Amino acid sequence: MHPLARLLPVLFLATSGFLPGLAAGQCSIPDSYAHRATTMVGSVLVTLATDHEAYVVGTPVHFWLSFENTGSVPVSIPNPSMITPMQGIVVLPAACDSLDEAGCPDSWVYEYPFGIFFFGTPLLLNPGQCSSTETIWDGVPPPTHSITPGLFTVFGGMNTGRGEFHFPVGGVRLNVQIQSSALVPVSPTSWGLIKSKYPIADQERP
């Protein structure tokens, strides 16, 4: 069972600043979110983005999740579990298709939110309106979890509080690479090249 399913009917949100900014208005995604995935649900454009495609463990990861009504009539996104915030992000190894898959419930390395309130309402988007969420992960998994460097999938969407995404169903997905250390390319003036050209540089001086 997903951890959020065990929470009390009314949950707390931790310290001030726990929630990232929630905005409503015209959708304007900052250029820094260059790595993106989108999907349409009816007239709603759902966008999930990160600031990079690859990260080193312990490097902050910036997330963007937005819902924009591109149609001409209002759209109401349902809230089947009556929670807030409904917006959710989960980072899982790429081999996992969801938190419910065997071996995957305890393999997530980041999850937002960590706490929820009940008594939430559906999200109403008027034509042209956008609702966006930004949050930052420090790149370090919780103490009870660990990261095996490799390919990971970021899931984003409206969630039910049980690790399930209902809008879009299964969530919008974006792959990111998490490495144990930075990959440094060899430059034409590397020390190895200098030694190959000038062997004396590798000899002991008298």
Phi and psi (nearest 5°) for 196? -70, -30
Domain that holds residue 128: 3-202
User: Can you give the pLDDT of all 206 residues of the chain as single tens digits?
Assistant: 444 443 434 443 433 233 344 455 568 899 999 999 999 999 999 999 999 999 999 999 999 999 999 999 999 999 999 999 999 999 999 999 988 888 888 889 999 998 899 999 999 999 999 999 999 999 999 988 889 999 999 999 999 987 799 999 999 999 999 998 765 444 444 444 444 344 444 444 44
- DSSP annotation of 122 reads P
Phi and psi (nearest 5°) for 152? -125, 155
In this structure, the number of other CB atoms found within 10 A of the CB of residue 159 comes to 28
The verdict on whether omega for the bond into residue 85 sits within 30 degrees of 0, i.e. cis, is yes
Phi and psi (nearest 5°) for 139? 85, 5
Domain of 81: which CATH number?
2.60.40.10
Q: Please tell me the distance from the alpha carbon of residue 135 to that of residue 103, in angstroms, as a whole number.
A: 26
Give pLDDT, residue 26.
67
Give pLDDT, residue 8.
37
Give pLDDT, residue 110.
94
Q: 58 — alpha (psi -120 to 50), left (phi > 0) or beta? A: left
Structural domain count of the chain? 1
Cβ pair 107, 96 in contact under 8 A:
yes
The vertex-144 CA angle with 63 and 120, nearest 5°, equals 50
Cβ pair 64, 49 in contact under 8 A:
yes
Give pLDDT, residue 89.
96
- Burial of 132: CB neighbours in 10 Å, binned 0-12, 13-18, 19+: buried
Give pLDDT, residue 67.
98
